[in-house]
Amino acid sequence: PRVRYHGRLSRLRPPAGILLDQVVSRQKREGSVFPQKTKELLPKLKDQWSQASLNILIDGLDGYLRGLDTHGHLYPISFIEGVHVDIFQTVDYMVFNTVEDYKKLLSRYEKLPKQLEEITELMKEGIRLKKTAHAVSMKNVLERLSSFEEPAEKSEFFQRFQKYPDAISEQDRKFLKQDALKVIESSVLPAFSNLRKFIKEEYMLHLRPEIAATSLPDGKTYYKECLRYHLELDLTPQEVHQLGLDEVKRISDSMKQIIKSLGSNASPKEFSEMIRNDSSFLCQSSEEVVRMYEQLLDEEINPKLLTIFSAVPKSPLRIQLQDASKSSGPCAMYIQGTTDFSRPGIFYVNAADLTRSPKYLMPALALHEGNPGHHLQGSYAMELPGMPSFRSQIEDRRYNDGPVHFPLHTAYVEGWGLYSEYLGYELGVYRTLHDKYGHLTQEMLRACRLVVDTGMHALGWSREKAVQYLLEHTSSSQAEVESEIDRYITWPGQACAYKVGELKIKQLRQKAQDALGEKFDVRAFHKVILDNPGPLTFLEKQVGKHIVETTGH
């Protein structure tokens, strides 16, 4: 239902009223033809660039068809994602300069009732197949939907129609407001009210009792596909779990060394608690948080990028405070800009609670979300000549769908973000031991995710055991830990991608260094990584080609 309202992709979702088994059969029938036709094009393509993109497309289509059997799209609503969240995020992405821009939003509003009907049908199908969300995934959903139940003129949906650029006349403003109020009152609000009624009176009565994805019918296959989808490597839950345990021990040892260097005998848990409560590490205002991030990027990071990169993209980056309505979300996130630069890349900073943005965490977060992390990565892909949009556009992140979604290459995208934090040492960004400790706390969280995600979904861990594990090994507060754990329950496998992707990139770098010796050029290596967004297996082949081309054999 969501992709159906996504312009040219509208045929990818079924109309309401069609039974799911008919839909899946049709999509498999039609979808299986497309990869075959695509494969027939391969011999006709002469350049390796186009062949690579086509192979990635074929691989993605094959994965999507496999994913259909998991019914991952039967979980369209959660406390993190869903139409009740996405619609406002979409509005944030839109540009409002002309009357036509506002009419596009009205058109989206007019289609919402149909979309919500289809979402309801999917959730009913989930009830029938006993494939429903756990209670933690639905927390606050009813409360959020209840907040929509107010007069149209006071509704969040009307906010965008209360501000206009000077170029729009008073008469046009009047008509736009009238049309908006009419659509919101007669279509949008009743549709959300119906969705809330269904969730409260039907869906909430059929939530699955266990947190594990493997507790669902054919759940082991579902979780295996979730890991395959996000990691794009052939790893079992047990292998991912052990990888996490090994990384937790390694990072913990590094944390202890820094603590000792700072003259303390505290454990990492005790030390993290101590500095978290130290007001000297806190900014005095949200504006100061933004200024510090701007200073880090403008003065400490950006001027040094060309020492480890052969080129830096032109797309601008803006640091912006996150809206107050998202104060319970992550402390930082990035949204890719547009190819025409009409919207810059945006590094959102959540500074509602200043204790969540201590100064010693800022360098790692600036590197991860800004440069050379997601902003450089996403902008570089957009600006690459000939890069098809299905490889360069990384913002359609619909993790609720899991494997029933065209590949997001989560491990490549998020692995690069975590690897970029590591590059902070080469760029000289971590100036103090506390900065280095802050980076390790971020890395530790990603390592722990491997342990608790597989623990809960495949190894029988309870939510409480997972919470205690994070409290014991990370610097996060109780509230932050519980939010993290509930996210992992809702998005099986997704949280494993960060560490797995980072380790693979580091492994490929070491492979190139060992093979090339004095011929190794970190700028050339990074160019290979950024030139080739896609599955990690594909990336490994490209690094192999780079080694052969550089050595001549």
Q: What is the pLDDT of residues 26-46, one digit of tens each?
A: 777 776 777 777 778 888 887
* pLDDT score recorded for residue 44: 82
pLDDT band, residue 324 (cuts 50/70/90): low
pLDDT of residue 22: 62
What's residue 9's pLDDT?
Answer: 32
Structural domain of 40:
3-44+71-213
Tell me the average pLDDT across 312-329: 83
103 CB contacts (<8 Å, ≥6 apart)? Answer: 176
Q: How many domains does the chain have?
A: 2
Q: Which of 64-68, 240-244, 299-303 has the lowest average pLDDT?
A: 64-68
In a domain, 29, yes or no: yes
DSSP, res 137 = G
Residues 79 and 175 reside in one and the same domain:
yes
Residue 233, helix vs strand vs coil: coil
pLDDT for residue 292 is more than 90? yes
| Local confidence band at 15 (pLDDT 50, 70, 90 cut-offs) | very low
Is the model's pLDDT at 501 over the cut of 60? Answer: yes
State yes or no: pLDDT of 25 exceeds 80: no
Q: What is the CB-side half-sphere exposure of residue 129 using CA atoms within 13 A?
A: 23
The answer to whether residue 1 scores a pLDDT higher than 60 is no
Residue 187 shares a structural domain with residue 268: no
Q: What is the pLDDT of residue 280?
A: 95
Average pLDDT, the chain: 91
- Examine the pLDDT at 8 and tell me if it is beyond 60: no
* pLDDT tops 70 at residue 198: yes
Q: Does residue 111 have a pLDDT over 60?
A: yes
The encoded tokens of residue 85 equal: 């969240």
Residue 530 domain-assigned (yes or no): no
The residue with greater pLDDT, 343 or 144, is: 144
Same domain, 183 and 237: no
Q: Does 230 lie in the same domain as 334?
A: yes
Would you state the pLDDT for residue 249?
Answer: 98
Whole-angstrom distance, CA of residue 227 vs CA of residue 410? 10
Omega of the bond leading into 151 within 30 degrees of 0 (cis)? no
- In 369-433 the beta strands, taken as DSSP E runs, fall at none
Please name the helix (run of DSSP H) or strand (run of DSSP E) that holds residue 353, with its range, or none: none
Given a cut of 60, is residue 438 above it in pLDDT? yes
For residues 256 and 180, state if they share a domain: no
489 pLDDT exceeds 60?
Answer: yes
CB 466 within 8 A of CB 485: yes
Residue 308: per-residue pLDDT: 98
Cis bond before residue 372 (omega within 30° of 0): yes
- State the average pLDDT over residues 500-518: 98
**Can you tell me the distance from the alpha carbon of 186 to that of 478, in angstroms, rounded to the nearest whole number?**
43
Residues in the chain: 553
Local confidence band at 21 (pLDDT 50, 70, 90 cut-offs):
low
Phi, psi of 11 (to 5 degrees): -80, -5
Domain co-membership, 232 together with 206: no
Yes or no: say if 439 and 373 are a contact pair by the CB < 8 Å rule.
no
Q: Does residue 400 lie within any of the structural domains?
A: yes
Query: Is position 396 within any domain?
Result: yes
pLDDT(93) > 70: yes
How far apart CA 443 and CA 177 sit, in angstroms, is 48
Q: What is the pLDDT, as a whole number, of residue 396?
A: 65
CA 409-410-414 angle, to 5 degrees, is: 125
Domain boundary among 190, 213, 236: 213
Cβ–Cβ < 8 Å for 394, 336: yes
Percent of the chain exceeding pLDDT 90 equals 75
Which pLDDT belongs to residue 514?
98
pLDDT given for residue 365 in this prediction: 97
Per the DSSP assignment, residues forming a β-bridge with 317 are: 345
Among all chains, which residue has been given the structure tokens 């500074």?
351
CB 352 within 8 A of CB 311: no
Strand partners, 185: none
The model's pTM: 0.92
Are 188 and 274 part of one and the same domain?
A: no
Q: Do residues 440 and 360 both lie within one domain?
A: yes
Q: Does the pLDDT at position 369 exceed 50? A: yes
More confident residue, 45 or 459: 459
In a domain, 537, yes or no: no
Same domain, 204 and 318: no
pLDDT at 24: 65
